[in-house]
Amino acid sequence: MILAVLASDLQKKEIASSAFFRNHEVLFSENISLWSNHIADAFIDLSFEYSRERITKLATLLPKPVLLSSVVETLDRIHPEFIRINGWPGFLKGNCLEASANEGMRARAEKLFGDQMIFVKDEPGFISARIVAMVINEAYFTWEAGISTKEEIDLAMKLGTGYPFGPFEWASLIGEERIALLLNTLAKGNGLYELAQSLKLYNY
């Protein structure tokens, strides 16, 4: 299968070691405006940022599958016929992609990708990003309390849990502003997700 992919340099590095992408022919593109006459079987926008203009352009590619990295914004706000995936740095290296889609698009994606896509409820943060964001938030609370240094917390988490990155390494890789945005979105409905003071500096 041919995949047209728009990605950052960091995402391209992850894609190079991703079992999911190795099973397909990946054609990188620098401009989604060129996709309208593309030979690709599916389109993946890993650089997606919410805007009506961007959504309108991507919608012209339907009914071919359109996958976009949108960890916070859900399909009810973007477009019901798209497929959301978690394309945050650090999450593209595995064998599968975490995704959300309506019933029809999920069935089509499963025919194309089989069990390489794991579908979850269409909620901000999916599952993995929500968990990692909470781990990062708790690490900031721990650091702010003076219990340990960032370096020691990173080391303890990697050695103790087998995580590929410590929470502060995760935050730096993903971007503290993305973590803050997700947690702030979740906090609107649940006080459990209240941001650590240091992460509030990135909340805008």
* CA dist list (Å): 198 to 148, 149, 153, 171: 15, 14, 16, 12
Of the listed ranges 100-104, 139-143, 167-171, 190-194, the one predicted with least confidence: 190-194
**What is d(CA 182, CA 131) in angstroms, rounded to the nearest whole number?**
11
Helix, strand, or coil (residue 127): coil
Residue 68 burial (CB count, 10 A): 25
Q: Give tens-digit pLDDT for 33-60.
A: 889 888 999 999 999 999 999 999 999 9
**Sequence-distant (≥ 6) Cβ neighbours of residue 191 within 8 angstroms:** none
Per-residue pLDDT band for 191 (boundaries 50, 70, 90) equals: confident
What would you report as the CA-atom Rg of the chain, rounded to the nearest whole angstrom?
18
Can you give the pLDDT at residue 192?
Answer: 84
Can you give the pLDDT at residue 204?
Answer: 58
Q: Give tens-digit pLDDT for 117-135.
A: 999 999 999 999 999 999 9
Q: What percent of the chain has pLDDT over 90?
A: 78
